[in-house]
Amino acid sequence: MAMQLHPTGFFDNSARQYKYITALPLSAAMGAEIAGVSLASLTDEQFAEIEDALYRHKMLYFRDQEISFEDQEAFTRRFGEFGIDAYTSGVPGHENVQPVIKEADTKTKMIFGSGWHTDSPFMETPPAISMLYGVDIPPYGGDTIWCNSALAYRCLSDTMRNLLEGLRVHMSAAGVVSNLEAMKREGLSKGQKTTFARTERDEQTQAMVDGWFHPIVRTHPKTGEKSLYVDHTYSHGIQGMTSEEAESILGFLKAHVTQPAFSCRLRWSPGTFALWDNRLCIHQAFNDYDGFRREMYRTTVNGEVPV
């Protein structure tokens, strides 16, 4: 299903006039570069404006940052507790800083973050905010793309919004887990460094597959903004509906939320630091840089039970 929807009157990614930072919008739909800031020596005033800008633009990025694991941990903790990551393990001595690394000679069908997704929605309390620090970046490729799911919600008809109100989506890692199991069987990841630390069908993996039911329209706890909580990777059904009924609604919503008009795309460079609000956008990584190394470090902020 391909829609060409460019509704007018709903887009507003203009920058607020801040005192301590400068926000430079990336696309009409979302995203902004934040200039005039060193994340290693952030002031409280700058942080307050960054938090405001994050909820407004959904995804922020900073260029040319030189930060340590401690700096990334400190910046993450300004937003709240660390989130729990279902897939990865931390670097030695920094259990909450997860390496996301693909070596130049690694060839894999599935990379970490491939497929449109919001982070770990199969958990009762999915991570609210995710952050990535780019260290080694391919000369081209390896971009990340986001879609603004609050803008997508605003662009639905009143009738569709009413229909969705009160529905609960089944978020499950069933697809990801069975792909990982198949990759393992095929031996594709044999002997290669992989970002996915946990792939056995242990209790924890089974809990990821069982997943959780969350509101299909969620309300942001800080701003009250409503957004679609739907993605391609984890949204598997709707409570109380047959799979055929759910699939027709989810199929429409997945195509709707990922329209190019709602997106922005980031070209990384060494020292680029990005963060996004998983409650307000979905994202995906590209598996398009074979032959080049990509090394990133990821942290997440714990979220709340979606309402």
Among positions 216, 296, 297, 301, the unique one binding ligand SIN when judged by CB under 6 A: 296
Number of H helices, E strands in the chain: 7, 15
Told to check if 144 binds ligand SIN by CB under 6 A, we report yes
Q: Could you tell me the smallest distance in angstroms from the CB atom of residue 223 to ligand SIN?
A: 22
Q: Could you tell me the smallest distance in angstroms from the CB atom of residue 281 to ligand SIN?
A: 11
Q: Could you tell me the smallest distance in angstroms from the CB atom of residue 160 to ligand SIN?
A: 28
User: In 148-227, which ranges are continuous DSSP H helix?
Assistant: 149-154, 158-164, 174-186, 203-210
Among positions 113, 115, 138, 303, the unique one binding ligand SIN when judged by CB under 6 A: 113
3-state secondary structure of 148: strand
Q: Give the footprint of ligand SIN on residues 56-85 (CB under 6 A).
A: none
Told to check if 100 binds ligand SIN by CB under 6 A, we report yes
Q: What are the angstrom distances between the C-alpha of 119 and each of 12, 42, 102, 140?
A: 25, 26, 19, 25
Could you give phi then psi for residue 245, rounded to 5 degrees?
A: -60, -50
Nearer to ligand SIN, 172 or 195 (CB): 195
What one-character DSSP code corresponds to residue 248?
Answer: H
Which positions ≥6 away from 299 have C-beta within 8 Å? 72, 73, 76, 82, 83, 96, 97, 98, 130, 131
Q: Could you tell me the smallest distance in angstroms from the CB atom of residue 196 to ligand SIN?
A: 12
Nearer to ligand SIN, 230 or 296 (CB): 296
Nearer to ligand SIN, 67 or 282 (CB): 282
Told to check if 11 binds ligand SIN by CB under 6 A, we report no
Nearer to ligand SIN, 46 or 65 (CB): 65
Q: Give the footprint of ligand SIN on residues 221-280 (CB under 6 A).
A: none
Told to check if 176 binds ligand SIN by CB under 6 A, we report no
Nearer to ligand SIN, 46 or 287 (CB): 287
Reading the block at residue 57, the tokens are 């633009």
Residue nearest to ligand SIN (CB): 113
Give the burial class of 191: count Cβ atoms within 10 A of its Cβ; 0-12 exposed, 13-18 middle, 19 or more buried: exposed
Q: Could you tell me the smallest distance in angstroms from the CB atom of residue 86 to ligand SIN?
A: 12
Q: Could you tell me the smallest distance in angstroms from the CB atom of residue 135 to ligand SIN?
A: 12
Told to check if 54 binds ligand SIN by CB under 6 A, we report no
Sheet holding 263-266, edge to edge: 263-266, 144-148, 281-285
Tokens 């990509």 locate to 294
For 217, the enclosing helix (H) or strand (E) is strand 217-219
Told to check if 112 binds ligand SIN by CB under 6 A, we report yes
Length of the chain: 307
Cβ atoms of 250 and 225 closer than 8 Å: no
Q: Give the footprint of ligand SIN on residues 121-140 (CB under 6 A).
A: 130, 132
Reading the block at residue 254, the tokens are 């997945």
Q: Could you tell me the smallest distance in angstroms from the CB atom of residue 190 to ligand SIN?
A: 23
Q: Which of 121, 78, 130 is nearest to 296 (CA)?
A: 130
Total residues at interface with ligand SIN (CB under 6 A): 9
Binding site for ligand SIN (CB under 6 A): 100, 112-113, 130, 132, 144, 283, 285, 296
